[in-house]
Structure 1
Amino acid sequence: MNAPSQPIPQEDTPKSGKMLSAMVGLGLLCALLIVSIYEGTSERRAFLKAEALEKAIFQVIPNTKKMEPMLIENGTLIPFDQKKQGLTRIYVGYNDEGNMSGYALECSGQGYADIIKILIGYDPKTETVVGFHVLESKETPGLGDKIEKDENFLANFIALDVSWDKEKKQLNNAVITVKNGEKNHPWEIDGITGATISSRAIGKIINDSMEKVNQ
């Protein structure tokens, strides 16, 4: 005689549902917490970013004691206006005597890993780039990030030729990056061995940005 069959235990559906609900609720709570922390620190991050930019401006324009943000419209400097969109922002530096010491210009372009954001100092009297600072970069550590600290590379920006033609329509010579040790002209950038793409990107960023200055 066969033994009576035992009933098959059923899943505790209500219990599983409660666990799933708890996990979803915990996930939402974590997401809200992350958003709250991000929004709560946004003002602080914006302040630090602005502070770093201001410090960099004084670094890339020699002998600057005061600076003023302005806009470029049709090749002419106009007072900065937040409402005016699509215009190039430029920072005008002044020395102790109140005379203009140069301009600082934010530039950006594609690097090897991501967008590279830089700040360059420009002397309109000599038509040269006289300062360089990397604002944001995600280039490869030990290779591409040498654009921020390699002394030989940074020496390119003491007097990089970005002079204009007589009509002020275009540069006399395009800024280009050459292989390390092959720089022969003042508008060339001596590249970094092992960081070819990153150093070439800097040349292109500067060239493209300077061409926009007089537009």
Structure 2
Amino acid sequence: MSTPEAEVMQPSTPAGPMIRTLMGIAMLSGFLVVLTYQLTKPIIAENQRRAIEAAVFKVIPGAVSRKDFVVNGGEVEPVTVDKPAEGVLVYAGYDAEGTLKGVAAKAAAQGYADLIHLLYGYDPACECIRGIKVLKLAETPGLGDKIITDANFVANFDALDVRLSSDGRSLANEIVTVKPGSKQNPWEIDAISGATISSKAVGKAINQSAKQLLPGLVPHLDKLTAAGEPLQQPEVTDE
């Protein structure tokens, strides 16, 4: 049986200094997180701007410049610093002469692993989609990512029909993804064998976006057309 003298007394640690230390560490960590966010925010924004611009020029053939607009409540207005986007953001693409070549918009739908985010280009001249660019996906490598690499699948978007109905309130035909090799109509998408879920996600994303966007955009394409300006050519001087 132990005696009180034999017991080893553990020194007690004052709670106050420990709490103050932990609070100091927490405040420093929070400060560093905020500082890192503030320092990297403009870099991230610039990288996103460049990525979107490159994607716009890919999905709108012939475009060399762009202007941003927002579609909201049947109105189409340009996006400015003083007037941020409140609605569906679209990117109008123009050639060197300032002619409107098409309009790009974002779309997303659930794939096999996660949401598939993409940008598609709408060509008013043919009332069709001229191309897509996948912005983000987490599909199975070698299968789901074929929506980027499979040439036959990408060819679906050379001229995918997205004409509006006679009353202009909806698509004349819903965009649907069909079994590989069974495409019969210009509004259908041939799926990829082994990547059906990812293929259907692309079709669903475009269909949902086009149904929402085009009825409000198409009647106001004249605003986008009028906004085009020829690119300034560098002056050539004789030396």
For the aligned pair, the TM-score class normalised by the smaller chain equals 0.7 to 0.9
Q: Identity of aligned pairs, percent? A: 40
* Superposition deviation, residue 136 in structure 1: 2.0
1:152-191 equivalences under 5 Å are 152-191=152-191
How far apart, CA to CA, are the structure 2 residues paired with 1:4 and 1:92?
87
Shift of 1:76: 5.1
Q: How many pairs were matched up?
A: 214
Where structure 2 has 5 or more consecutive residues not aligned to the other structure, the ranges are 217-239
**Counterpart-to-counterpart distance in 2, 1:209 and 1:3:** 79
TM superposition outliers: structure 1 runs of 4+ over 6 Å = 2-5, 15-24
Q: Which moved more, 1:74-83 or 1:44-53?
A: 74-83
Give the 3 Å change call, closer, same or farther, for CA 71–93 of structure 1 in structure 2.
Answer: same
Letter in 2 for 1:108: A
Q: Deviations over 1:75-111 (max 9, x none)?
A: 5533225646542221111123322111111222333
Q: Corresponding residue for 1:139?
A: 139
Partners in 2 of 1:11 and 1:104 — Cα distance?
70
Q: Is the 8 A contact 2:79 2:85 kept in 1?
A: no
Deviation at 1:11, TM superposition (A): 2.7
2:69 corresponds in structure 1 to 70
What is the aligned partner in structure 1 of residue 43 from structure 2? 44
Superposed CA offset, 1:9-61 (max 9, x none): 13333299978986776566555434432332121011101111011111110
- What residue in structure 2 maps to residue 112 of structure 1? 112
TM-score by length of 1: 0.84
Matched, 1:150 2:174: no
How far apart are the structure 1 equivalents of 2:2 and 2:107? 84
1:79 corresponds to: 78
Counterpart Cα distance in 2 of 1:36 and 1:173: 50
Q: CA RMSD in A?
A: 2.8
**Equivalent position of 2:102 in the other structure:** 102
1:116-161: CA deviations, max 9, x gaps? 2211111111111001001122233333222222222211111111
Deviation, 1:205, is 0.8
Give the 3 Å change call, closer, same or farther, for CA 7–115 of structure 1 in structure 2.
Answer: same
* Counterpart-to-counterpart distance in 1, 2:104 and 2:2: 92
How far off its partner does 1:164 sit? 1.2
- The residue aligned with 2:60 is 61
Which residue of 2 is the match for residue 192 of structure 1? 192
Once the two structures are overlaid, the 10-residue window that deviates more, 25-34 or 110-119, is 25-34
Following the alignment from structure 1 to structure 2, what is the Cα–Cα distance between the partners of residues 199 and 119?
15
